[in-house]
Amino acid sequence: MSQSVSFGKNLSQWIFTTDHKRVGILYLIGSLAAFAVAGLMAVLIRVELSSIGPTITNPQTYNVWLYFHGAAMILGFQIPALTGFLANYLVPLMIGAKDVAFPRVNALSLWLFWMGIIVALLTFVVPNPPDFMWTAYPPYSIMSGGNTSFYTFTVLIMGFSSIVGGINLIATIIYMRAPGVTWAKLNIFVWATMCAFILQLIFVPVLGSAVTLLTLDKYLGTHFFDPAMGGDVLLYENLFWFYSHPAVYVILLPMMGIIYEIVATFAKNRIFNKKVVVFGGFIGTTVLSGEVWVHHLFTSGMPNWIRLGMMVSTLLISVPVGLMMIGLVGTLYRGAIQYKTPMLYACGFIFLFLVGGLTGIPHAMAALTLALHDTHFVVAHFHYVIAVSGTFAVFGGVYYLFPKMTGKMYNEALAKLAFFVLFIGVNVTFFTMFIVGLKGMPRRYFDYSHMPQLEHLHKIQTYGAFVIGLGALLILITWLHGAFYGKKAPTNPWGSRSLEWTHTESPPGPGNFGGKPLDLPEDWDPYGYGVNPD
């Protein structure tokens, strides 16, 4: 009896929490729920494609799966997990603040996010679920029987949640740093988060207005995108990618940030050329991100010279991203690398991101894209560069923060096994996908009976998908096992120098730093490893 009362009390404490750590964890739970359902969709999609012709479903249902997989993975998992969970949990701890600037606004952003997740999940309940992919290009999204408003509401709610959270965290980073936490000493993850939120604040309203107009077109009979009435279909594509390409960097920057944290901690090493990584890499990407979107429209009838111009700006993205990668590998140089699970994820990330990043180059080259665009090659590329890399960053981050969040340790052996299963699975699936795409398999296909020579390659991908699924299950088991039966964690199991490990309990209490004002020594540095070299 008393237990259930305390459970109810506990639950309401969690639901009505304004504590940034709990907000972060609730973000994590919500985004993992989205990941689980969208991941299940991915496995179903792979099963459907495993053989020619209808395998387990009809095209209509298949399109809904594709829609949900895309929309939920990006809007429900990647962005909230990286900018919701990690940013909310880590940023105040890293800058020595007792909470974010506006804790109750933070709770609002969390609630909006959960509402967004629920609206997205309703896809499987409403009679005519959206079937027009997460891009929702008109005129199809206007003509389709699918429920466009659910898509629009998901985008608007998630977008609003993200804006509210973004303003909050930017304000927190600027005004709530503890004395001694200067801009120069700021953790690299904090920089990355700030850049990501700036992008989000600038670009989300554009997508918001575009999808709103889409809904007006569909339900209120306006003609914003109707070509017969002076509308322009190409304009929607432009507006959509004007947000959605920067959204890629909203995902990329925090994932780079958390990987940097993990690498620095487990290599016990200073970050190589940190200033260049921050100003050249992060801020460079932020500045360039808004000038490259036309590479999504290289085959969409844009004027030729605009395509060539955007080709150059797209290729130039390799400069900041290259600087980030050099910084990352440079951080290994003369380090003392300890291969715990988070570090395995970070190393896996480096290789996956390398493959993904380099295969981005042919997409940027306008002439090569004419063949590769909208094929499985693109799908493989963005799965490597954003989807799998981002997921590795999130999982690595969860393992990294696991002792801090739960106060318990996970089982290292099981976690490592799960990592290798996952790593093998993603490479089998997505590397094969490159080959299939190169051979001309268009994306979003339900059936490929006119390309029967690709069937065995599709089969391999499906086997890979099952391996990924197994890996994900093992990871879930590791986490649950760790959370319930894990050994008690010390406050700083990894020996990090960063504030969230050195100055807090595991898990940190309310107010984070025990109510005492932080007194950081003059030479404090979150990466102050090997203070006296040689």
Partner 1 sequence: MRRRIRTASTALMTLFILAVPVLASSEHESGYEKTGIADPVEGWNHLWHEMLWDITVMGVIFALITIYFMWRYRRRFPQQEGKQVKLTFAGMMLWALLPAAIFMADDLYLAGKTWALYNTYRNVPENSMEIKLESAMWSWNFTYPNGVQATNELRVPVGKPIVMRMKSRDVIHSFYLPDFKVKEDSMPGRVTYLWFYPKEVGEHVITCAEFCGVMHSNMRGTLIIMPVDEFNTWLEKEKANI
Partner 2 sequence: MRKRVLLIILLLLSASLRPGDGLATFSRTVQSEIDPELMRIDEDKFLGAPIKTDYKLIDEQGEHFVLSDMIRGKPLILLLSYYRCDGVCPTVNRDFRAIVQKMKKKKLGVDFSVLSLSFDVDETLERLKMFNAKLKFPKWMNKGWRTAIFENDEDIKPLTESVGYRFFWSLRDQMFLHPNVFIFISPDGRVVRYLYGATIGEKDVELAINEAAFGKSGRSKVEDLKDLVLLACFSYNYKEGKYSINYPLFIAVGSLALGISAIIIALIVVRKRVRR
Which residues have CB under 8 Å from 288's CB, separation 6+? 313, 316, 317, 320
State in Å, rounded, how far the first CA of the chain is from the last one: 62
125, 182, 305, 523: which one binds partner 2 (CB under 8 A): 305
**Which listed residue (220, 333, 517, 522) binds partner 1 by CB under 8 A?**
333
Nearest distance, CB of residue 123 and partner 1, angstroms: 17
Contact stretch for partner 2 (CB under 8 A) within 249-257, 300-308, 371-379, 399-407: 300-308
101 binds partner 2 (CB under 8 A): yes
d(CA 97, CA 173): 9
154 interacts with partner 1 by CB under 8 A:
no
Shortest CA distance to 298 belongs to which of 309, 289, 288, 290? 309
User: Whole-number minimum distance, CB 237 to partner 2, in Å?
Assistant: 11
**Taking CB under 8 A as the rule, which mask of x and - marks residues 289-328 in contact with partner 1?**
----------xxx--x--xx--xx--xx-xx--xx-xx--
Q: Is the dihedral of CA 179, 180, 185, 188 positive or negative?
A: negative
CB atoms within 10 A of CB 11: 10
Which residue stretch of 132-140, 188-196, 468-476, 508-516 sits at the interface with partner 1 (rule: CB under 8 A)? 132-140
Applying the rule CB under 8 A, the residues between 469 and 488 that interact with partner 1 are none
Q: Does 368 bind partner 1 (CB under 8 A)?
A: yes
Q: Tell me how far, at minimum, the Cβ of 306 lies from partner 2, in Å.
A: 7
434 is an interface residue for partner 1 by CB under 8 A: no
Strand partners, 442: 375
Do residues 403 and 493 touch, judged by C-beta distance below 8 A? Answer: yes
Q: How far apart are CA 139 and CA 229, in angstroms?
A: 12
Binding residue count for partner 1, defined by CB under 8 A: 88
The one of partner 2, partner 1, none whose footprint includes residue 114, by CB under 5 to 8 A per kind, is none
Q: How far is the CB of 516 from partner 1 (least distance, A)?
A: 28
Query: Reduced to 3 states, what is the DSSP secondary structure of residue 472?
Result: helix
Contact between residue 402 and residue 479 where contact means Cβ atoms under 8 Å apart: yes
Residues 190-249 that bind partner 2 (CB under 8 A): 198, 201-206, 208-210, 213, 224-225, 227-232, 235-236, 239, 242
CB 507 within 8 A of CB 406: yes
Comparison of 18 and 273: residue with beta carbon closer to partner 1: 273
The correct pick among 53, 127, 303, 515 for binding partner 2 (CB under 8 A) is 303
Note if the bond before 507 is cis, omega within 30 degrees. Answer: yes
Residue 510 found at the interface with partner 1 (CB under 8 A) = no
CB within 8 Å of 320: residues ≥ 6 apart: 280, 281, 282, 284, 285, 288
Q: CB atoms < 10 A from the CB of 38, how many? A: 20
CB of 248 to partner 2, least distance (A): 17
Return the SS3 of 488: strand
Are 158 and 75 within 8 A, CB to CB? yes
377 binds, among partner 1, partner 2, none (CB under 5 to 8 A by kind): none
Q: Are 441 and 366 within 8 A, CB to CB?
A: no
Q: Say whether residue 14 binds partner 1 (CB under 8 A).
A: no
Query: Tokens 């290599």 label which residue?
Result: 267
Q: Does 450 bind partner 1 (CB under 8 A)?
A: yes
Q: Which is nearer to partner 1, 20 or 274 (CB)?
A: 274
According to CB under 8 A, which one of 112, 163, 294, 321 is a site residue for partner 2? Answer: 163
Class of residue 472 by CB neighbours under 10 A (exposed 0-12, middle 13-18, buried 19+): buried
Positions that interact with partner 2 (CB under 8 A): 101, 163, 167, 170-171, 174-175, 198, 201-206, 208-210, 213, 224-225, 227-232, 235-236, 239, 242, 303-306
